[in-house]
Structure 1
Amino acid sequence: MRKTIKFNPLAVGVMLACGASFAYAEPQLEEVTVTAQKREQSLQEVPVAVSAIGEAQLMENGISDMTELQKMSPNTTLQVSRGTNSTLTAFIRGIGQQDPLWGYEPGVGIYIDDVYIARPQGAVMDVFDVERIEVLRGPQGTLYGKNTIGGAVKYVTKKMTGDTEISIGSALGSYNQRDLKLKASTGLTENLNIGAAIASFNRDGFGENVITGEDQYNKDILAARVSLEYSPTEALFFRFAADKTTDKSASKHGHRFDPGVNGEPVLDSVYDTESNLPSDNLVETSGMSFTAEWQLSDSVTVKSVTASREGESDTVIDFDSVNTPSFDVPAIYDDEQFTQEFQLIWQGENADLVSGIYYYDGTASGAYDAVLAPISVAVNGSVDTQSLSAYAHYNWQFADQWNLNLGGRYTKDDKEADVYNAVIAGLGSDFSHDKYYADSAAPIVAAVRTDYTNSDSWGEFTPRVGIDYQLSNDAMLYATYSTGFKSGGFDMRGVETANPLTREGYAPETVDTMEFGWKLDLLANRLRLNGALFRADYTDMQLTTQRLLDDGTTAGDVLNAGKSRIQGIELEASLALTDNLSANANLGWVDAEFIEFMSGGENIADTRDMQNTPDTTAMIQLNWSLPVAGGEMVIVPSASYRSDTQIFETPSILDQEGYTLVDLTATYYSPDGNWNLGLQGKNLTDTEYRIAGYDFGPSLQTGFYGAPRTIALTGSYNF
């Protein structure tokens, strides 16, 4: 492993404090607008721990997809899931989802505008045609509902102006990177605007399959979006939007730490693999939405958001990473969802209300074969979910400097699951045999271990109570109590012959969080210092366990097996040092521990730790702008740190030591503002770091890694 550079998070505060002495001008920080509470507000007025990254900041930091946002938000993990290219693993404040299996709900909600993305497949979205991205930390159960138990990430697109605007952008870089973005919008009439964007992201692999010569860790994505906006009057606004993304990037197989099951040597490069499987992989996601807003009066607005989305995946994972079918997993996924939300927003003289009704109807289905030559385990099934909720969030300024926040949401979930699990004599079942193992004997069902249909319902009320105090126009303190829950369900991998209770499913998990925070603009709006102290009590945790059965296969159980306590602090700071030099920093610290982790009737909490939750995350960057050739050059160096990270609850060879990533970007804006050129260097120290893995014991431990050093030349032109 390459040597990593350590980073002391305490340097964040020291550098900011020292930086104040360099301020010779009277610069000010810009106001940031967010919609964290489903209406436009200043970031400094919102009693919520939220990070907002605007369009310019995204470009000047070279952020190309959602996973790179984790450095911009403390106590946040956003990673590409193991063995995939576009499936998201998201954790905020220790709460999230490791397992992307269909029917297993995420713990961090992903939104495009007001539309919830129910499944993690395809959620590693590339950043294009976006105004800003907001990361909300802590449970958002009142306004955003179930499955935002850890927080939420929101893509926010901007309304069109009606002017004819065309822009083209591209990037050329390491590993034959070839990106192209095209965006255009125009006004068809005075009140009707149309816009479209298309983007192609291509890159050769960081490694290869040494058996087939095919790429590993490459990129082959095509994405498009179209929107139509109509405003017949000042009080009415309608928007139709549609998008589609096709990801043909090669499936990823992991790096072995030990010789393979047949004695195969460990490969030199962590990005290489030795697999008998091809790299065929296809993930397609698409969706449509229709938004209608009607401003009934100066104080009342009603809003409707109707949306449908679907996704399909066809992929393969080689768990053993050797040239034999000793542990291959071909898999397919198929997801559909329909959502409808009605909102009523009222703004009074000293009070306001956001309320609504939300309906979700979705189906998540899939199938996979665990090929363990000479047998296989075939798993398939589906989960139908109907969810209905009603919510209200009321804010009352009961005194000149005091606000009271009251909110609540009641959610009713109904689920029906079909689950099938069988041992197959042969390689693969009907859906994968002909594609991957056609030269072997035809598969025969040897034993059906699970075959049931069952349903269940859960209802949950998630309240929120908060109070905030405006010390001055530039300083606010707040305290909140909020709750969230993640829906219950049925284990798609459950083996009923080994655990008859699997057909009963598992219950929701819940979290109760206390938070004390502050929003400060100091030094005549030159220093912005936001922060939060929090404590969360996490109960009925849904934990995935694996055990070896007598026939040599494994059984996975999803159980309500745990309780944990999570507490910590988050700091975010921005300092305008001079008119052309500013500094941004964040620091997150989490103390997360299991109180209860039940296994076989025994509490083994002392032997387990929270996964994907480094106790310290930090980032510091400078933003330096200077005049060059009549235009402006913006230079952004940054360093982001993540302390030791445990990939699973049980310590293993997969665990990643603390590391620092160093990035540097330089962007030149032309004098007329019509074009820009940029140079982006990421992971300049070429640090090697793991982001995911599988652990099935010796010879079956594989890791997946973040990107090595890359350099890209970017540019865009506005017509």
Structure 2
Amino acid sequence: MVTPPAGSAYYDNYIREKDTFQELRLNSNLGALPVDWTFGAAFYRSQEDNNNFIEMAANKMQVNKAAGKYTRDTYTAYMDASWRFAPTWTLKAGARYTKEDFHIDSQFYNMQRLPFETQGSYQKDYSEFLPNFAISKDFGKDHTVYASYGEGMLSGGGTWIAEASDSSGYLGHGLPYDPETSEVYELGYKSYWNDRTIVAGINVFDMRVNNLQYAYQDPTTGANMIAPIKEVRSRGIEGSISALINDVWEAALRFGFNDAKVTQVDGYTGASYSEGARIPFAPEHTVNVEATYYGEISDNWRFTPNLGVGFYGEMALDKQGNNFQDSYFVVDANVRFNYRDDFEIRLWGVNVTDERYKTFSVNWGGMGLSNYGDPMRFGVDLSANF
């Protein structure tokens, strides 16, 4: 069925971004002093000019429009130091201070509401001091135990595709969200075996995230949106082992368990999120197995096939933890052909078993709408060094 020209519409969406970055860093000579250190400062400016609109094809009349201009200035100062205060003990410490200024000018138009057009500005300034510490103990040259604590921050911002509102009505600017902060405790062990041809490691972690920036895709516009969750707690275990089996075979195994749940909601997110619900898009169990073969065709030609299999456990798809994606496997494969160090031909396949799995799902107006992961894809890459 073809839509008549009089009823068809044109949809346009673009994001124009300009970034400026400058950094100054000072380092000590490695090993020259009892303490190795780094000091630095950086400035980063991000500017966006975004536009999204729908207009009728017949008369070029706009049905709705959302436009936003952003400026974010980020000032950062940091230091890191490593002190081997005993033959088998190392202490690391650092700190980062970040200050950000965020500003947005927005314009919205919708011919089906009053007022038709709104405009507004929003500005937010914030700063965070973020320390980190780690201590490690070596047992011989092949075994290390470590413990660490660190704090992190993810910048705040605004969702320009949707308009902020309160009890008085529409405010004319995009939906702002505050920075996300985190605290992470970790205890781990790393080791080398069989003349260092095998590397193994395992660690447990406990992470608390405040104001988690939950990113999702709007099912009607396809726009990327951000909604905050007041507090999330994530606990789990991760491990890996990689081995050079012989001169031509290499294999790796990585696994993880992550129990990530909402621990607090506030007045805004309480209508959408439930305490105790699992965090969307965070599978409890993950396992990845990879094998690589290094072969020679002739003195000048080498070939390297690689096969990877990923297992992803059950995953929540909605904010209440009621809708889930069952566990699934994704298989990727590629083979590289190298002529000396001059040319490379890479044949690759992604999701070669064409596994069908959901990455997002929502109940919208009584309809279940879902996005799915990429289907089976194949390709060829050619590269040359000169």
Q: TM-score, normalised by structure 2?
A: 0.81
Residue 140 of structure 2 corresponds to which residue in structure 1? 472
Instruction: Answer yes or no: is 1:643 the counterpart of 2:296.
Output: no
Instruction: Answer yes or no: is 1:332 the counterpart of 2:14.
Output: yes
1 CA distance for matches of 2:353 and 2:328? 11
Alignment of 1:77-476 (within 5 A): 330-347=12-29, 348-369=32-53, 376-425=63-112, 446-448=114-116, 450-476=118-144
2 CA distance for matches of 1:666 and 1:622? 12
1:359 CA drift (Å): 0.8
Q: Which residue identity is paired with 1:402?
A: W
Q: Which residue identity is paired with 1:346?
A: S
2 CA distance for matches of 1:615 and 1:680? 29
Give per-residue Cα distances to partners, 1:606-639, cap 9 Å, x unaligned.
Answer: 4743122112222112223345455544332321
1:669 CA drift (Å): 4.5
Q: Does the CA contact (< 8 Å) of 2:239 and 2:256 recur in 1?
A: yes
1:541 to 204, 212, 223: 212
1 CA distance for matches of 2:50 and 2:146? 45
Q: Which residue identity is paired with 1:687?
A: E
Residue 708 of structure 1 corresponds to which residue in structure 2? 376
Q: Does the CA contact (< 8 Å) of 1:483 and 1:510 recur in 2?
A: yes
Q: Which residue identity is paired with 1:644?
A: E
Q: Does the CA contact (< 8 Å) of 1:378 and 1:424 recur in 2?
A: no
1:586 to 254, 259, 262: 254
Q: Which residue identity is paired with 2:111?
A: I
Q: Does the CA contact (< 8 Å) of 1:449 and 1:496 recur in 2?
A: no
Q: Which residue identity is paired with 1:456?
A: K
Q: Which residue identity is paired with 1:366?
A: N
- Structure 2, unmatched stretches of 5+, are none
1:469 CA drift (Å): 1.5
2 CA distance for matches of 1:460 and 1:668? 48
Q: Does the CA contact (< 8 Å) of 1:618 and 1:642 recur in 2?
A: yes
2 CA distance for matches of 1:652 and 1:543? 17
Which structure has greater strand proportion?
A: 2
1 CA distance for matches of 2:381 and 2:267? 52
SS at match of 1:403: strand
Q: Which residue identity is paired with 1:688?
A: R
Q: Which residue identity is paired with 2:15?
A: Y
Give per-residue Cα distances to partners, 1:226-273, cap 9 Å, x unaligned.
Answer: xxxxxxxxxxxxxxxxxxxxxxxxxxxxxxxxxxxxxxxxxxxxxxxx
1 CA distance for matches of 2:109 and 2:193? 64
2 CA distance for matches of 1:546 and 1:599? 22
Q: Which residue identity is paired with 1:522?
A: W
Alignment of 1:479-558 (within 5 A): 479-492=147-160, 493-496=162-165, 505-543=176-214
- How has the CA–CA distance of structure 1 residues 674 and 358 changed in structure 2, closer, same or farther, with 3 Å as cutoff? closer
SS at match of 2:76: strand
1:487 CA drift (Å): 2.6
Q: Which residue identity is paired with 1:416?
A: H
Instruction: Answer yes or no: is 1:634 the counterpart of 2:304.
Output: yes
Q: Which residue identity is paired with 1:337?
A: D
1:699 CA drift (Å): 4.5
Q: Does the CA contact (< 8 Å) of 1:450 and 1:495 recur in 2?
A: no
- How has the CA–CA distance of structure 1 residues 674 and 386 changed in structure 2, closer, same or farther, with 3 Å as cutoff? closer
Give per-residue Cα distances to partners, 1:154-201, cap 9 Å, x unaligned.
Answer: xxxxxxxxxxxxxxxxxxxxxxxxxxxxxxxxxxxxxxxxxxxxxxxx
Instruction: Answer yes or no: is 1:562 the counterpart of 2:230.
Output: yes
1:381 CA drift (Å): 2.1
Q: Does the CA contact (< 8 Å) of 1:450 and 1:496 recur in 2?
A: no
1:560 CA drift (Å): 4.6
Residue 121 of structure 1 corresponds to which residue in structure 2? none
SS at match of 1:496: strand
2 CA distance for matches of 1:687 and 1:490? 35
- How has the CA–CA distance of structure 1 residues 700 and 648 changed in structure 2, closer, same or farther, with 3 Å as cutoff? closer
Q: Does the CA contact (< 8 Å) of 1:408 and 1:464 recur in 2?
A: yes
- Structure 1, unmatched stretches of 5+, are 1-209, 212-274, 278-322, 426-444, 548-552
1:545 CA drift (Å): 9.7
Q: Which residue identity is paired with 2:240?
A: E
- How has the CA–CA distance of structure 1 residues 488 and 389 changed in structure 2, closer, same or farther, with 3 Å as cutoff? same
2 CA distance for matches of 1:663 and 1:588? 19
Instruction: Answer yes or no: is 1:665 the counterpart of 2:334.
Output: yes
1 CA distance for matches of 2:257 and 2:191? 20
Q: Does the CA contact (< 8 Å) of 1:389 and 1:411 recur in 2?
A: yes
Q: Does the CA contact (< 8 Å) of 2:283 and 2:314 recur in 1?
A: yes
2 CA distance for matches of 1:667 and 1:602? 51
1 CA distance for matches of 2:380 and 2:270? 56
2 CA distance for matches of 1:370 and 1:609? 36
Residue 656 of structure 1 corresponds to which residue in structure 2? 325
Give per-residue Cα distances to partners, 1:10-36, cap 9 Å, x unaligned.
Answer: xxxxxxxxxxxxxxxxxxxxxxxxxxx
Q: Which residue identity is paired with 2:98?
A: T
SS at match of 2:252: strand
Which structure has greater helix proportion?
A: 1
Q: Which residue identity is paired with 1:507?
A: D
2:293 to 624, 633, 638: 624
Q: Which residue identity is paired with 1:540?
A: N
SS at match of 1:605: coil
1:392 CA drift (Å): 0.4
Q: Does the CA contact (< 8 Å) of 1:694 and 1:703 recur in 2?
A: no
SS at match of 2:28: strand
2 CA distance for matches of 1:616 and 1:570? 10
Q: Which residue identity is paired with 1:356?
A: G
Q: Does the CA contact (< 8 Å) of 1:598 and 1:605 recur in 2?
A: no
1 CA distance for matches of 2:51 and 2:380? 41
Q: Does the CA contact (< 8 Å) of 2:108 and 2:118 recur in 1?
A: yes
2 CA distance for matches of 1:515 and 1:352? 23
1:535 CA drift (Å): 1.0
1:409 CA drift (Å): 0.9
1:571 CA drift (Å): 1.4
1:332 CA drift (Å): 2.2
- Number of aligned residue pairs: give it: 371
2 CA distance for matches of 1:679 and 1:332? 32
Q: Which residue identity is paired with 1:531?
A: I
- How has the CA–CA distance of structure 1 residues 408 and 518 changed in structure 2, closer, same or farther, with 3 Å as cutoff? same
Q: Which residue identity is paired with 2:281?
A: N
- How has the CA–CA distance of structure 1 residues 276 and 677 changed in structure 2, closer, same or farther, with 3 Å as cutoff? farther
Q: Which residue identity is paired with 1:634?
A: T
1 CA distance for matches of 2:4 and 2:200? 53
Q: Does the CA contact (< 8 Å) of 1:388 and 1:411 recur in 2?
A: yes
1:610 to 250, 259, 279: 279
Q: Does the CA contact (< 8 Å) of 2:356 and 2:372 recur in 1?
A: no
Give per-residue Cα distances to partners, 1:191-212, cap 9 Å, x unaligned.
Answer: xxxxxxxxxxxxxxxxxxx96x
Q: Does the CA contact (< 8 Å) of 1:449 and 1:495 recur in 2?
A: no
